[in-house]
Amino acid sequence: MTPKTRAWLLILLISALCGVTLWGVIWYRSRALSPAAMLKRLPTDDAVVLYVDVARLRTAGILELLDGSKVGEDPEYQNFVRKTDFDYKQDLDAAMIAFAPKGKYMLLKGRFDWKSLKSYVLGNDGRCNNSFCKMPGSMPEKRISFFPLQSEIMAMAVSDDDVAAMRMNDVDRRPDAEIPTAPIWLSIPPSVVKSGQSLPPGTQMFARSLERARTVTLFIVQEGDHFAAKLNVRCAAESDATALAADLNKTTGLLREMIAREHEKPNPADLSGFLTSGAFRSEGTRASGYWRIERSLIENLLGGR
Whether the Cβ atoms of residue 71 and residue 77 lie closer than 8 Å to each other: yes
Q: How far apart are CA 119 and CA 239, in angstroms?
A: 58
Instruction: Please name the amino acid found at residue 28.
Output: Y
Instruction: State residue 198's pLDDT score.
Output: 54
**What digits encode the pLDDT tens for the residues 79-116?**
777 888 888 888 999 999 999 988 999 999 999 999 99
Q: How far apart are CA 91 and CA 84, in angstroms?
A: 11
Whether the pLDDT of residue 173 is over 70: the answer is yes
**Residues 6 or more apart in contact with residue 80 via CB below 8 angstroms:** 86, 120
Domain ranges of the chain: 34-169, 184-303
Strand 127-129 with 132-136, pairing: antiparallel
**Other beta carbons within 10 Å of 97:** 20
- Determine the 3-state secondary structure of 275 from DSSP: helix
Residue 206: pLDDT band (50, 70, 90) is low
Q: How far apart are CA 213 and CA 240, in angstroms?
A: 8
Q: By percentage, how much of the chain surpasses pLDDT 70?
A: 77
Q: How far apart are CA 87 and CA 72, in angstroms?
A: 9
- Determine the 3-state secondary structure of 283 from DSSP: strand
Instruction: State residue 234's pLDDT score.
Output: 92
**Class of domain 34-169 (CATH, top level):** alpha beta
DSSP code string of 91-137: HEEEEEEEEETTEEEEEEEE---HHHHHHHHHTTT-EEETTEEEEE-
**CA dist 213 to 56, 176, 244, 302, Å?**
30, 19, 8, 29
Instruction: State residue 128's pLDDT score.
Output: 95
Does the reported pTM lie above 0.85? Answer: no
**CA dist 111 to 65, 74, 78, 89, 117, Å?**
22, 22, 18, 11, 12
